[in-house]
Structure 1
Amino acid sequence: MSASAPEWLETLGHGVHAIDTGFQRARFDAAYLVVDGGRAAFIDTGTRHALPRLIGALSAVGLGVDAVDWVIPTHVHLDHAGGVGPLMQALPHATLLVHPRGARHMIDPSALYQGALAVYGQAEMDRAYGELVGVDAARVRTSEDGMRVPLGGRQLELIDTPGHALHHHCIWDPVSQGWFTGDTFGLSYREFDTADGRAWIQPTTTPVQFQPAALRQSIERLLGRAPACMYLTHYGRVRDVPALGTQLLHLLDEVVALGRTLAPMADTAARHTALSEGLRQLYRRSLRAHGCALADAHIDELLALDVELNAQGMCVWLDREAR
């Protein structure tokens, strides 16, 4: 790659490149470009606004749009897959490889848009996501648990990982011995790294398909491969995987306990408020124990979107359990 590579592109070795899609803030949302033998795959895409960076990443590593064989969203939430349609239009030879539960939403994204609109509102949809573009069904292939697909000289492996979303799969790279985890292995923002480089991680419970038991099983399945690293969409590559896995599962248990404590509240608005405050306090305590020195107000600012969406997702989960 050129010495003048853009600041939003990070080369991680083993042919893996992280692209900061520019969604929300710097180092919040990553897409990945994997290159092997002159062939390429994108894993996650960010929103449609990320398209210039995605195409620019190809140019930066010396490849053209005809070198891309695969576009693989980990799941079809818009911060991971909102850019799939425009990207596929720009890549003449790529195949979209998507979880079977998400394929119809990539072909016709109208229901996906309406679902996101209900969560975010029109102003935020216009600002952050924009118009969604469908993909020709003839260019769509669905994944199966344990399937392998070729990329140059390596074989990427896909496994079904429900818990965050029913339409979620994770991708194993045998060369770097790492998983592309989407949201299954949680969120780890670089602002919370300690001075000695230790990362902090949290589970995500966003609407509408959070299932804690399934998520725990998926996390444990990822850990069972003894990976050298995890490639998170939010954000970047993390190492020290066993320690992070322990922390993630512990926080998941605490989140579930918080939800069950507040489940009896009949007033849904009051329950949402209580969940939001409970999550803020839980995250602060965990970060203090981790060694984070940021002020509470700064922590709250960085986690504001997560607190809101996680509280919403927990409300949906609790209502589903009560039925």
Structure 2
Amino acid sequence: MSTTAVITAPTRNYRGRFAPSPSGPLHFGSLVAAVGSYLDAKSNQGTWLVRIEDIDTTRVAQGAAKDILTTLEAYGLHWDEEVVYQTQRHDLYAHTIEQLNKQQLIYACHCSRKQIKALGGIYQGHCRHLNHSQRHSALRLIQQHPISQYHDLIQGAVTINQELAREDYLIKRSDGLFAYQLVVVADDIDQGITHIVRGADLLEPTARQLSLFKQLNHTAPHYAHLPLAVAQPGFKLSKQNYAPAIAKDNPKPALFNAFEFLGLTPQAELIELSIEKMLCWAITHYSLQSVPKVAEIQVSQNPHSQATLFTHINK
């Protein structure tokens, strides 16, 4: 097996994170995100955190958070600091809203999703000047720093619909739940996250997150969006479409496949090593530059063997 490693200077004070939502068990697509973020952190001699994004309690599956953590441990993906749960951080999110309120950048909105969809799907600021009470209302942020273009470390130049970039978006829902766009930025600031490696399905939300970092006067992390693992073009592996859970009792094959997915070239005998040694090999050989620069990779089984096939899909 080749021992040639890609040598790059590590990034100082690197802090990365894996942030799954506990709506079900980890599948291969989420394993890729976990392994990709872990390898990027460790190859930079950095810290790797795990955050359970359970803020949307309507989507939380009972026991899923514990199962996710158990699965990560089975794959040798050990986090460096205490696991954070968003449902335990409401004070942080309320404080962030208070900061934005002091800047007079928040207003109450009574428009339903159905109404917005009927008007084209992008909110046009209908409630901005109606002075609705913020109590028991959805809250929107007045967009001060619309971002329609940014650079991604894997996908390169990313362009977002300009009208969408200018939209006043929700930061708190009418049911009282804090919105993802607010909490993820508040968490990343609070945890000092410097690098975010995650799936390309979040390319569009990243533009809003970059604008919120600017609004809160904080330096944004570096973003690297991995190709999505898809069953067929445009149909990503996800908990919502019942992607099968990865095995905890036999993690090596899926871990080996994740290495291949991320552009590493492991030889067959690697799978004979321990999980810890497999990860050490991957950390030594990993390079962000080797990750395929495509939006999707189709995952399928070779009908004549146990091999997993990967087909790159440019979009």
Same fold flag (TM > 0.5): no
Between Structure 1 and Structure 2, the one with more helix by share is 1
- The higher relative CO (CA closer than 8 Å, separation ≥ 6) is in 2
Q: How high is the TM-score relative to the length of structure 1? A: 0.27
Q: How high is the TM-score relative to the length of structure 2? A: 0.28
| Greater Cα radius of gyration, structure 1 or 2 | 2
